[in-house]
Structure formats: C-alpha cells, structure tokens
Structure 1
Amino acid sequence: MALIDAPEREAGDAAAPAAPGLGELFVAFAKMSLAGFGGVLVWARRAIVEQHRWMTAEEFNETFALCHFLPGPNIVNLSVVFGSRFRGIPGAIAAFAGLLGPPLLIVTLLAVLYAHYGELDTLRRILAGVSYAAIGLLFAVVFKMLMPLLRKRDPVAIGLLAAVFVAVGILRLPMPWVLAVAVPLSIGATYLLRRRTA
C-alpha cells in the first residue's frame, strides 16, 4: 500500500473536481470507516486528498486542525465540517452517517461475539497485531501531513510545531493550556508575516 509515495495535488495544480453529491459523501465516508482499523484519519486523508482530490494537502491539514478545537472526536468533526463545506447541512449529515453507520453495526455484532469468545488467547494476539498495524498507519499519515509544512520551510511554523510537540509530547503539559498559548501565537505570527509581505 503506497501511503507515502502517492502524488498529491498542490495548490495551483490541476483544477479540483466537482463537489461530491450526498450519495458520494455517504459512500466515501462509509468506505473510510470500514477501512479504518485503528483509526480513520489515514484513510480519510488518502481518500480526500489523493484519490478524489476534493482538497489539497494544505486544505486538509487546515480543516483537520480546525476539527481539533471542536468538541468530540476529530474524525467525526472532520466528516461534519467536510460534508457541510460541499453540501451544507445535508452534506454534513450524509458524511456523518457514512462515517458512523457501518462501523456501528459491525461493532455491535463484534461486541456480541466478544462477550462469548473474548477470553480466547488467539483472539487477544490478533487484536495486539491489529494495534501494531494501526500505529504504523498513524505514523505514515502524520509524516504525510507534515510534508506540506516542511516544504514551505517557514521557520515560525516549524518552531511552533516543535514547541507544541515538546510541550505536549515530552513535558506532558495539558493540551488545553498549550493550545491556549499556541493558537494566539500562531495567529499573531501569521498576521505579522502577512503584514510584512503586503
């Protein structure tokens, strides 16, 4: 599976395809959710940016960053924001239903099976293997989301990225406090840079 080598549409390249319809939104998010063992972000980015080219890599990163500030799971927020961007409230509902409907049915069935067979050692080993694969997919998508930022070679953005990583990942500071500092800093830095170039 070539998750890292697939070509991406950069801003200004080929024109974006037509906006997806309601059925297309439902099916696309249903496929993402059914493929997304261990997390849907990998498959959401792959489908939205690389396969359908509904967004550029930068647009996806910006939309996903916005979804971090909304309450609830990030990928659910992404489905609602993405669907409403193209088709308004009906689009948000279609993407949301596609994302959560099929897995809800499958998880309900698996919960019944797990209640009967959850103590089997073979099943535990299978679940451990799946978790390792999910971690690998997560690292792949983080790398791909990082590339547009690194290509710009913007020292302020890279500095903010490093500072937030150190604060949350190494120092284990609470995420809300880190975001309360990082968001105004990033907005201020962007404003000052644009003012200088204008």
Structure 2
Amino acid sequence: MNEAVRPEITKGDLLIGFLKIGMLGFGGVASMARYVIVEERRWFTDEEYAAILGICQVMPGPNTVNSAVIIGDRFQGLPGVLLSLLGLMLGPVVVVTLLGAAFATYGKVPFIQAAIMGAAAGGAGLVVGTGFKMVQNVGLGLRSSLVAAVAFVAVGLMNWPMIPVVAVLVPVSVALVLIGRQ
C-alpha cells in the first residue's frame, strides 16, 4: 500500500487490532490476522501482507507472533512491538487458562469431546480457506503455484516433515523468481 494513502497506525490501533486477532483467531489465527490486517484495518495490501507472512514463515516461531513483531516495529518501533504482542497474547492466555481449568473437570464428557473435535475441523477449514483466498488475491504465477502445489502435496498429503520440505523449496522458489526476471 502506498505510504501516502496509508492511515497513521497508532499504538492503540496496534493493541486493539492484535487483541482482536488474538481473541477471534481460535484454531485459525492466520485467517483472522489476514482479515484484520488487510481487509478491516487496511494496514497492508494482500501483496504486502503476503511478503510479511513469507518472511515470518522462514523465521523461527509462530507466524502471527512474528508478524506482530514486524508490523508493530514498522509502525511504532519497540513500543509498537510490545503492544502488538500484548494484544495478541493477553486474551488467549486468559481464555486458555480458564478453559484448561474447565477441561480438567469436564474433559471426559462426550459432548465436550465432540465440541473440541468440531472446533479442530473448523480451524483447519479456516486455514485452508485463507490460503486459497491469499493465493487468489496475490495472483501467483505458474512457477509460484507449482511450488505451492508441491509443498501442499509433500506436507499435506504425503506427510513429509515440513523443515526439509521448506529447506528444499525456499532455494527453488528463489531460483524460479530470479529465472523469471531474466
């Protein structure tokens, strides 16, 4: 997004935006993060967010935590990083602590077990749906689509370990982009 048309992102905006992401991103925080950051708040375009997410995926740690650090730093420096992380983590820590205590008491109830399985399926669907939406909006070329398909088949269908797949596909992706620019 052009810096001239991007609204100023305040410390409060970062705190509230990431608090919303953290509180509403159950089982599929990536989909909520993209929705809040790109569609609702318009902090970044899909292309810019995809670039940030790409960087976060090759860094150690959770992607959304990494993106909170990058986005907080970009708009408000260290205070922005701290507020983004606080917003992202505060709600889920409180909720998970309360749910853990309740699960310790009621976890064997069949209805509760069924609800957990349903929530897991819903979360998986959100992740897949967000991936498809990002691919459509970013407009991957043939080479990038091929790499994405190989990654999906290798990790998603063949159950290969993610780290070796990423270790192979990152240099392949870079090479394909460089070849495409020539």
- Normalised TM-score (structure 2): 0.89
- In structure 2, stretches of 5+ residues that fail to align are none
1:174 maps to which of 161, 170, 181: 161
Q: SS of the residue aligned with 1:119?
A: coil
- Structure 1, unmatched stretches of 5+, are 1-10
Residues 88-122 of structure 1: per-residue CA shift (max 9 Å, x gap): 22111111110001110111122222222222222
Give the aligned residue type for 2:116.
Answer: L
Aligned pairs for 1:46-195 (under 5 A) are 46-149=35-138, 151-152=139-140, 154-194=141-181
Cα drift, residue 164 of structure 1: 2.4
**Helix, strand or coil for the counterpart of 1:38?**
coil
What residue in structure 1 maps to residue 22 of structure 2? 33
Tell me, in whole angstroms, the C-alpha distance in 2 between the residues paired with 1:86 and 1:183: 28
Q: Is the Cα contact below 8 Å between 1:16 and 1:55 reproduced in 2?
A: no
CA contact (8 A) 2:56 2:66 kept: yes
Which amino acid in the other structure matches residue 117 of structure 1? Y
The aligned residue for residue 45 of structure 1 is: 34
Q: Give me the whole-angstrom Cα distance separating, in 1, the residues matched to 2:95 and 2:160.
A: 36
Answer with 129-138 or 58-67: which moved more: 129-138
User: What letter is aligned with 1:157?
Assistant: S
Deviates more, 1:160-169 or 1:104-113: 160-169
Distance 1:146 1:88 in 2: 30
Contact persistence 2:28–2:124 (CA under 8 A): no
Q: Tell me, in whole angstroms, the C-alpha distance in 1 between the residues paired with 2:112 and 2:167.
A: 42
Amino acid aligned to 1:171:
M
Answer with 58-67 or 176-185: which moved more.
176-185
> Distance in 1 between the 2:153 and 2:100 partners?
38
Residues 16 and 54 in structure 1, CA contact (< 8 A), matched pair in contact too: no
For 1:80, the aligned partner's letter is V
CA pair 139-159 structure 1, distance change in 2 beyond 3 A: closer
- Contact 1:64 / 1:78 at 8 angstroms: preserved in 2? yes
Deviation of the 1:42 alpha carbon = 0.9
> What is the rounded CA distance, in whole Å, between the counterparts of 2:116 and 2:53 in structure 1?
28
CA apart distance, 1:175: 2.1
- Asked if 1 retains the 8 angstrom alpha-carbon contact of 2:23 and 2:91, the reply is yes
Letter in 1 for 2:69: V
Query: Could you say if the C-alpha distance between residues 161 and 31 of structure 1 is closer, same or farther in structure 2, counting changes exceeding 3 Å?
Result: same
User: Residues 138 and 104 (structure 1 numbering): CA distance in 2 closer, same or farther, change over 3 Å?
Assistant: same
User: CA 1:51–1:108 in structure 2 vs 1: closer, same or farther (change >3 Å)?
Assistant: same
Conservation of the 8 A alpha-carbon contact between 2:155 and 2:162: yes
Distance 1:126 1:174 in 2: 29
Going by fraction, where is helix more abundant, 1 or 2?
2
- Name the counterpart of 1:5: none
TM-score, with length taken from structure 1: 0.82
